[in-house]
Each structure stands twice: as structure tokens, then as C-alpha cells.
Amino acid sequence: MKQELEQAGKQVVGFCIPSAPCLAAKLKAETAKNIPALRQAEAVLVLACGLGVQSFKDNDRFGLAVFPACDTIFGAVMDAKGDFYEKCSMCGECVLDVTGGICPVTLCAKGLLNGPCGGMDQGKCEVDKDRDCAWVLIYRELEKSKKLEALKEIRGPKDFKKSARPHKLIASK
């Protein structure tokens, strides 16, 4: 990957390989060893599932642009109490780079890709009034990083064949 990025004119200032990128403690320990490189970086390419991308974003102290390198089809994160929360549907068409690291496919009750529905009320989802509207969260995140322009991009419909269940992997012959 380093070679390909450099051939494309990108400067690679470092890398790290956390043993479990979705576990904040493991990610923090590994990235702490790479603070000088992170200070030089403009962006981070995460070669992990969408959970690894979001874990890095959640623990990034430098406000770097975070890009997913893999398209994933399911995942959850574990909090300090050991509870799991789905944050990524691993849909095979990752948009975390344009939605502030927040997955609208998973966190929006309707899976909307182009903004909130008309039922959002006071920042809450019309489907579940105790749940924050994913698009309000996305807006706030993009506003913080001065990337609201990304909301003007219209995304086409998803290819749901990529996330149809059950999955089957066939060994190549």
C-alpha cells in the first residue's frame, strides 16, 4: 500500500499495526508510539473494517482526515462495560470519509444516504425518540471539521446485493 500511495504522489510519513484497532486501549497504545508521524500527517488511511476507521476517528487527537481502505459488511464496537453497539453495517460501500466517520446506513433508522428525513424532531429520530438522529450527528461532526460542503454531494442508491444475507465465500480454484 505504501508503494502504491507513493507512486500516486502521496507522502507516507508512518504506519502502525494495532493488534485490535476497534479496541480503544490497543489503538491508543499503538498510535501513541507514532505521535511524531501523526503530527506530520494530513490524513490517515485505515486498513481495517469500518469499526477500525471509526475507532481511529474517535481517538484522533489531531483532527486528521480518516479514509477507509476496506469495505466491510458488519460490525460492532465494545464499550468499557463490555456492551456491544453496532456502528457499521459493513455494506461494501463505505461513506465514512464523507459523513464525518458516522455511518448513516447503520445509525439512521431508515438508512438514508442524503440527509435526514422530515420526521426528525429536536435532533431525535422519529422512529425512536430516545435515539439521536444520525444526520444531526453527521452535520455536527462535519461542521466541527469545516467540511459541511460534503453534504451537497448526492449519493446514488446502494447496491444491496453487496449486503444480502447470508454471505458465502467461495475458495478460488
| Those residues with Cβ within 8 angstroms of residue 41's Cβ, 6 or more apart along the chain or in another chain | 13, 14, 62, 64
pLDDT of residue 81: 86
Q: Which of 48, 141, 151 is nearest to 101 (CA)?
A: 141
Q: How confident is the model over 55-65, as a mean pLDDT? A: 92
Tell me the H-state helices in 20-133: 24-32, 35-40, 50-59, 104-107
Percentage of the chain modeled with pLDDT above 90: 57
Flag whether pLDDT at 167 surpasses 70: no
Query: CB neighbours of 60 closer than 8 A, spacing ≥ 6?
Result: 44, 66
Predicted local distance difference test score (pLDDT) of residue 72: 76
**What was the pLDDT predicted at 107?**
94
> In this predicted structure, what is the pLDDT of residue 173?
62
Mean pLDDT, the chain, as a whole number? Answer: 89
pLDDT at 50: 84
Name residue, grid cell 476496506.
Answer: 70
Q: What's the rounded Cα separation, in Å, for the pair 13 and 30?
A: 15
| Measured CA distances, 101 to 48, 65, 135 (Å) | 14, 9, 12
Confidence of residue 133 (pLDDT cuts 50, 70, 90): very high
The Cα 128–Cα 73 span in angstroms is 24
How large is the average pLDDT for residues 89-105?
91
Q: What is the mean pLDDT of residues 26-46?
A: 92
Rg (CA), the chain: 17
Please tell me the predicted confidence (pLDDT) of residue 125. Answer: 95
DSSP count for the chain of H helices, then E strands: 6, 4
C-alpha cell at 66: 480518516
Cell digits for 18?
A: 494495532
Q: How much of the chain exceeds pLDDT 70, in percent?
A: 97
Mean pLDDT computed over 116-122: 92
pLDDT at residue 63 greater than cutoff 90: yes
- Is the predicted pLDDT of residue 128 greater than 80, yes or no? yes
- Which residue would you say has higher pLDDT here, 11 or 24? 11
